[in-house]
Each structure stands twice: as C-alpha cells, then as structure tokens.
Amino acid sequence: MPYPGAVWTLIAIQLLMGAGFGLISTPLMVGVQSTVDWGQRGVVTGASMFSRYFGQSLGAAVFAAIFNSVLFDKMTEAPENLQSALPKVNEVVEVLQSAHSDDSVQNYLQHAFFDSTHTVYIGLLTVGVLTLIVLLLTPKHFGKIDKF
C-alpha cells in the first residue's frame, strides 16, 4: 500500500484476506473429518478447532512481536532532533491520536507505524504463499484411519 494510502485499499486487502481464510476453513475441516469413521468425527473436529485457535493465537503473538520490533527499531533510529520528543513504544497510539503533538513527531510516528504495518503484511503474504504451496502439494484423497 502506498503511504498515505486510501482507506478503500486497506478494506479491499482485508476483504481479500478474510475471503481466502474463510474459503479455506470449510474444505480443510471436511477433509480432516473424512479421514476418520463417523464415530470419531467429534474428536477430530475438536482437535482441528483447537489447533486452529491455537495457531491464530500464536500467529497474532508473532506478528504483534514483529510489529513492535520494527516500531522499536524505527524509534531508536530516529533523527537526533526527534529523539527527545518521541514517546515510548507503548504510547505511540496516544501521541498519534493527540491533537497537541508536534507535526514532525506526528509525521515520523506515522511513517514508523506504516513501516511496521507494512512488514506485518509482507509476513502475512509470505504465510499465505506458503499455505498455498502446502495445499497444492497435499494429496487429493487421504486414506481412512482405522484407529484414532
């Protein structure tokens, strides 16, 4: 996304990502359920849902850490004239929302926030491409599992 980007661009990207993750979840669940007998589908469904939520939590933590790391790096690499005026990393949002902060600080923080978000999007794109590769390499049919 270009900086400053149009809001519709962000919305379109979010809709595309949501549609992709939404369209992949049902076929994966049906695929997992089809590998076991009818009486074991509840166990497989529960394990799959647990794994999905655990993965989402882990992914959110990893990408939040990436975001914070890039933002912290941008804050420490700031020009000398801004170093004393910059807030702590956990106060950036409050300063960005404040109408009383210096324009040069606001501008620098907006660029730092943009760079951090951009890095997260590149990471998400990488994960999406890797997921697509795994799906393309996955066999079309799995054999039934006799014992769970």
Query: Residue 114 is encoded by which pair of tokens?
Result: 């943009």
Q: Convert the pLDDT of each residue in 47-57 to its tens digit.
A: 999 998 999 99
Q: Convert the pLDDT of each residue in 112-143 to its tens digit.
A: 989 999 999 999 999 989 988 998 888 776 66
Evaluate if pTM is beyond 0.85: no
Per-chain mean pLDDT for the chain: 86
- Residue/partner pairs of 68-75 with CB below 8 Å, 24 or more apart: 68/116, 70/112, 70/115, 70/116, 70/119, 71/112, 71/113, 71/115, 71/116, 74/111, 74/112, 74/115, 74/116, 75/112
